[in-house]
Amino acid sequence: MDFYFPDKGKANRFISFLESVVPTKIKTSKKLIGTDDKSNISNFKYTNFIEVCPLCKDDLLYLPARTARNLGNITRLVMVKAISNVIHLIDPLSGQMAQLSGDAFWRDPVRPVITAARTRMTRYVVLGKEPIMLRKNV
């Protein structure tokens, strides 16, 4: 998706808004369009390439061992609980929670094992439960 802004200040304001809402990776470039040697004026074209974190709420991730260790020894199989300027992760088995910063995510990006696209999810209601007793081999 491309956005065009009339001046550099408005583009920078939009970039700072995106940085406050979602983890991003930004690359900037500056290209000389033309120059006027008489009046010593140069025209530049500024380009900002913003990559937004591809994770969504309820995605299932398998973290690299180093990342899991840095997050307080959380298990490697986690779910995305929420996305803000940091990624909130939860271990579905123990309930342990961790926050993955945008910088840490972009250092070692993780692709979801299962993505929670809303169109593929099915809502269900649990009607009952029965405890299962495990037998030990004697």
The pLDDT of residue 134 is: 66
Check whether 21 has a pLDDT greater than 80.
yes
Distance CA 97, CA 90 (A): 4
Give the range of the structural domain holding residue 35, as residue numbers without chain letter. Answer: 8-52
**Quick one: which of 48, 27, 29 has its CA closest to 106?**
27
Q: Is residue 128 a part of any domain in this protein?
A: no
Give the chain's domain count: 2
- When pLDDT is averaged across residues 1-17 and rounded to a whole number, the result is 90
Q: Is residue 30 a part of any domain in this protein?
A: yes
- Nearest 5°: the CA angle 57, 62, 64 is 125
- Rg of the chain on CA atoms, in Å: 23
Distance CA 27, CA 34 (A): 22
Same domain for 46 and 66, yes or no, is no
Q: 24-57 pLDDT, tens per residue? A: 999 999 999 999 888 889 998 999 999 999 998 8
Q: 98-136 pLDDT, tens per residue? A: 999 999 999 999 988 888 765 666 777 878 877 777 666
